[in-house]
Amino acid sequence: MLFNSFAFLLVFLPAALILHWLAERYSPQWRLPLLAVLSLMFYGYWDWRFLPLLMISILFNWIVARVFGHWSQRALIWCAIIVNLLVLGVFKYADFAMGIAGNFLQQTFDPLALALPLGISFFTFHHIMYLTDLKAGRAPQFGLIRYTLYIAFFPQVLAGPLVRWTEIMHQFDERPYLRSDAAERFARGLVLLAIGLGKKVFIGDPLSLYVNPAYEAAAAAGAVSVQAAWQALLAFPLQIYFDFSGYTDMALGIALMFGIVLPQNFERPYRATSLQDFWRRWHMTLSRFLRDYLYIGLGGNRHGLALQLFALFMTMTLGGLWHGAGLTYVVWGMMHGAGLAIGVAWHKAGMRMPPLAGWVLTTVFIALTFVLFRSPNFDTAWTMYDALIGHGLDGERIRWRTILLAAVVALAGPTAWAFTNRVPPWRSVAALLAVMFVVILFKIGDDANYEFIYFQF
């Protein structure tokens, strides 16, 4: 069920909170098993056929960790990591790989056409983070219930944030409603939920009306108007930001209501003055994963400039492939890898750039490469780029009001986390947020529910 749906907001979440409070109040030993069951129910609601895959994945990796505790063979962990990647590869990349192989061998292979289990990329990376730290001697053993919650905790199982075991495992042992600030944390969780819903419903979803028709026209007819192309170019970076950061705000808020603090994922990324700065602010938990578990493993910055540039390029190329089984994602990742490598070489040469110029170049680069990210194929991307330079159809004037509002909020506004921790606990604020929540419910009831963009990854 979607966070922005009646089924979640009016049924599942209230029921889960009541049951969680009862367990915490009267039978604390059942709190974690209850959260595990609720998380599995939440995941199974999407498609019960994928629930066994998640449960087998959890059980397999937990057993591997247990065996490793008695038989410390590093090869065991490597085999488990390979198995996790193979499962991800079969569901997400098998048809993509067969298509490339077919083109190379000039043969046609029947696609497997497997449905992509929601969240498989995220829970696979969680397994890999834990197993890698276990192999390095940094991670302890955990019971099955706690490990299940680490992987499947419902606020973050579908689209993150990517949480390290060090950030969450100790919180499962706390009695969250016995804390002196329990009421304040619960209230701030509600604020985060409301803000995230507002970002998704009032900004992210309306921007899709500027983006989707342009790319659909480019893909279907091979032509799009110049105005529509520019409108989509400006709107999509903002749409994906408010859609994904809105989801993250909701995830952080929901988790906080259950007494769990999840890591932040965004820090005003469109204020970045370099590409490196952008990736420190955008999808921060993924950037951190790629840095610590891939970039450093490829050599990082420890073995000379040439290897550092290669590691950057390969890390971002694989990061692009993680986003989707398509060459457009790979090339998008390659472009960001090349951009980051150029930035490192620029600084190594002792050159500097004025912040304003850096911001302009970074923003233009991100917007232009997002065209490739959003396009289903290279033909669509080329049609969009061609229209951007004036080789497109005539169309209506650009509708700029929603785009301008979104840009102002993204650039000038604080993050939802910062706002939530600054807002005073006044009744007037509570009343305003209550009204906002009611308006959101009416908006959800009036419009079709839009899925979150990152659910496809």
Which residues form the catalytic set? 323
SS3 393: strand
How far apart (Å, rounded) are the C-alpha atoms in residues 233 and 52?
A: 40
Q: What is the DSSP letter of 264?
A: P
Integer-rounded Cα radius of gyration of the chain: 23
Residue type, 193: L
Adjacent-strand bridge partners of 356: none
How far is residue 133 from each of residues 141, 152, 291, 334, measured CA to CA in Å?
A: 11, 19, 14, 28
Give the Cα separation of 195 and 247 in Å (integer): 10
Contact 295, 312 (CB under 8 A): yes
Closest CA relative to residue 319, chosen from 283, 350, 345: 283
Counts for the chain of helices (H) and strands (E), in that order: 20, 0
Q: What CA–CA distance (Å, rounded) separates 314 from 275? A: 16
Q: Which of 182, 185, 192 is nearest to 436 (CA)?
A: 192
Which has the closest alpha carbon to 153: 185, 131, 122?
122
Give the tokens for residue 271.
């204020």
User: What stretches of 259-415 adopt beta strand conformation (E)?
Assistant: none
**CA torsion angle for 49, 54, 60, 61 (degrees, to 10)?**
170
Q: How far apart are CA 63 and CA 71, in angstroms?
A: 12
Report which of 30, 122, 44, 423 is spatially closest to residue 253, judged by C-alpha positions. Answer: 423
The Cα–Cα gap between 317 and 311 comes to 10
Q: Which residues pair with 225 in a beta bridge?
A: 393
Alpha-carbon gap, residue 6 to 389, rounded angstroms:
43
- CA–CA separation, 110 vs 104, rounded Å? 15
Distance CA 391, CA 389 (A): 6
